[in-house]
Amino acid sequence: MTLAVRYMSARTLETAPVEFSEPGPGEVLLAPAYVGICGTDLHIFHGDMDARVDAPAVLGHEMSGRVLRVGAGVEGWRAGDAVTVMPLRWDGTCPACLSGHQHICQRLDFIGIDSPGAMQQRWTVPASTLIRLPESLALDRAALVEPTAVAVHDVGRAAVREGEKVVVVGGGPVGILIALVARAAGAEVRVVELSAHRRTLAEELGLAAWDPAAEDVSEAVRQWTGDAGADVAFEVSGAAAGVDTAVDVLGVRGRLCLVAIHPRPREVNLHRFFWRELTLVGARLYDRSDFERAVALVADGTVPAERLISKVVPLTEAPAAFEALEGGGDVMKILVDCTDDARGVAV
């Protein structure tokens, strides 16, 4: 048995013992150390993904941990190796896979959503999903590799170049990570965020931040860019007003990268797209190269992961942590500590 956090129904989580499977051929058994709670996990918690998630479901896909055992045929991994997991399992036969876009497979198994996730003390996964971590990287910080890989993919999709002016609309964890990765690519970055707490954190990380409730962001961008407009905008807020801002700040032939999950259709100023020849690109998930780049950025401190961790809680307190995250502004990233506790776990 292993202790796990399971989604039972809307706004109901439980921490309870569950069975875990020994690794079969091509699989590894992991001991998760830390698991981050992300926005998608909150969507599940709210019951918004019940059509996709089969309850009871073990959550979690932002993780770090160590290999415990390897199954038959697994090479290159041994007990004790520090790892994170790229939580994607694709079929390899659909049109998306055949065109080289396996990460958005049309029958994708997103591990932690479509199948059991990492918020447990023992977790069996395909060896093909493992990403090696340097031993010098603390495992709590390494739990932010997955959202950093999201940011790396987003910045790549937007083709951010050195010297470009970039506006990130939404200063939550992914928004801040996008800003940091874009800055590392040589861009000048501004973050738009309502929360004073998140703006302060952005500024402490050397990122200029604007409060859209207190100033005209479009005018601020006009002054910042000499009336040219931004080269790239990232919509990370998930709000209708955020979409409007991201479109309005763009200059001629600017690129809008849509990162946030919008649960309902939004009105978009298509005349602005026509008038300024704007481009809209979607960005979803990541590939292995994004993950490997993310590991490097977290390991060398370009992404100061420790500054984004608001709190670490044990598995038994995970349900309360989900409720704390609903408040939003004063919390960035909460990690769940999955290491063995006094209740014990079979090994």
Mind telling me the catalytic residues?
40, 43
Residue whose entry in the numeric block shows the structure tokens 């995250």: 325
Q: First-to-last CA distance in the chain?
A: 8
Cis ω for the linkage preceding 17 (within 30 of 0): no
Residue whose entry in the numeric block shows the structure tokens 């501004």: 190
Query: Which is nearest to 191 in space by CA: 255, 236, 128?
Result: 236
* 285 φ/ψ sector (left φ>0, alpha ψ -120 to 50, else beta): left
Beta-carbon count within 10 A of 244 CB: 19
| Coil vs helix vs strand at 305 | helix
Q: Rounded to whole angstroms, how far apart are CA atoms 184 and 249?
A: 22
Asked if residue 175 lies in contact with residue 165, where contact means CB atoms within 8 angstroms, the answer is: no
The C-alpha torsion from 173 through 174 and 179 to 185, rounded to 10°, is 130
Residues 6 or more apart whose Cβ sits within 8 Å of residue 39 = 172, 174, 238, 261
Task: Return the sign of the alpha-carbon dihedral for residues 100, 103, 104, 107.
Answer: positive
β-bridge mates for residue 280, sequence order: 256
Q: How do beta strands 27-36 and 2-9 pair?
A: unpaired
Beta-carbon count within 10 A of 107 CB: 13
* H or E segment to which residue 251 belongs: strand 250-258
Residues 6 or more apart whose Cβ sits within 8 Å of residue 202 = 171, 176, 179, 191, 193, 208, 209
